[in-house]
Amino acid sequence: MDEPRKCVYCGNDLHAERPFEYCLEASCYEKGFKQAEYYVLGVHKSAPVVVWAESSEVKAKISYMNVK
């Protein structure tokens, strides 16, 4: 049987379905949480596209209608 995964900050057992390596204790969550930045790119005659801030579309400034 597999050993339970542990929180990297406090060592508590993690739920098997938890996708992150830290638990939900306030101090561990603050240390592990990294806020992501996304942009919404306007596309002519189509639905807007949501992309990560480091994507090539944002770096190339393809759309002038980007909103944070």
**For residue range 2-19, what is the model confidence (pLDDT) as tens digits?**
778 999 999 999 988 888
Q: How confident is the model at residue 1, as a pLDDT?
A: 56
Q: Residue 25: its pLDDT value, please? A: 92
Domain ranges of the chain: 1-33, 35-68
- Answer yes or no: are the C-beta atoms of 1 and 12 closer than 8 Å: no
Note the helical H segments in the chain.
26-32, 56-59
Q: What is the pLDDT of residue 21?
A: 92
Q: Residues of the chain whose pLDDT is less than 50?
A: none
Residues 6+ away with beta carbon under 8 Å from 21: 5, 7, 8, 14, 32
How far CA 48 is from CA of 11, 19, 36, 45, 59, in Å, comes to 42, 28, 19, 9, 17
pLDDT for 40: 82
- Whole-prediction pTM value? 0.49
